[in-house]
A and B are shown apart, each in its own frame.
Chain A
């Protein structure tokens, strides 16, 4: 399968614990995006990388959230001291973008986080 993959698919954790999610984009896609989706809502943009550089972060991304893409390939999203309000689906997407014009973002299946 050459699509975007995310691991784990499901994560249940207790409040206050740290969690880390991984996203593997489509090979050679230079941009990688993270979104959060709560039940009944559309995905909300969190942040994106162009290669290894994190170029934009949403106000939704509090200090407890950190994302990395160290080698410009896979990315990790870490949430520290999880809160019940962090429960959501975390979606990763990737695209091949050379200019400022839109290029299709391909989404992964998401990681569903439940904070007890």
Chain B
């Protein structure tokens, strides 16, 4: 079946460097994507979202890029900090009434001091 959020399982970056977490999806009809951060023992936390009519959106220290041609999504974190250590999920909102979020398997981001 069609899937979203095909991640590399782990990513290790040096503190202060920029992190780029990539995600691929297969449903060309997908029109709304969300990035979540999940710290150990906690539920997922919304970071940033993007609609399919956009190719870039920026937040505080984070940028999401969407390439619909190759069905690719990325999350860029500037000046990575120890507090950024977590599992990051790209996800898609689906359902006739925007009812469900389809999560990928996630990428665990580790920060080297």
Contact = CB atoms under 8 A, between A and B. Distances in A.
Nearest to B95: A56
Contacts of A102: 32, 34, 49, 93, 98
Given A55-B97, A109-B41, A45 B46 contact: no
A28 interface: no
Nearest to B108: A40
A100 B101 CA distance: 14
Interface residues of A, number: 29
Given A93-B43, A107-B45, A109-B42, A45 B96 contact: no
Interface in B59-113: 89, 91, 93, 95-106
B100 A45 contact: yes
A2 interface: no
A43 B105 CA distance: 8
A35 B101 CA distance: 9
A45 B101 contact: yes
B103 A97 contact: no
A97 B98 contact: yes
Contacts of B89: 42
Interface string A21-33: 0000000000101
B41 A104 contact: no
> Would you list the 3 A-B pairs with minimal beta carbon distance, nearest first?
A42-B103, A107-B43, A45-B100
29 contacts: A4-B43, A31-B99, A33-B99, A41-B106, A42-B91, A42-B103, A42-B104, A42-B105, A43-B44, A43-B101, A45-B100, A45-B101, A55-B97, A55-B99, A58-B100, A91-B43, A91-B44, A93-B43, A97-B98, A100-B96, A100-B98, A102-B32, A102-B98, A104-B49, A105-B46, A105-B101, A107-B43, A107-B44, A107-B45
Interface of A: 4, 31, 33, 35, 40-45, 48, 50, 55-56, 58, 91, 93, 97, 100-110
Interface of B: 5, 32, 34, 41-46, 49, 89, 91, 93, 95-106
Given A40-B105, A91-B44, A106-B46, 8 more contacts: A42-B5, A93-B43, A100-B97, A101-B98, A102-B98, A104-B46, A107-B45, A109-B41
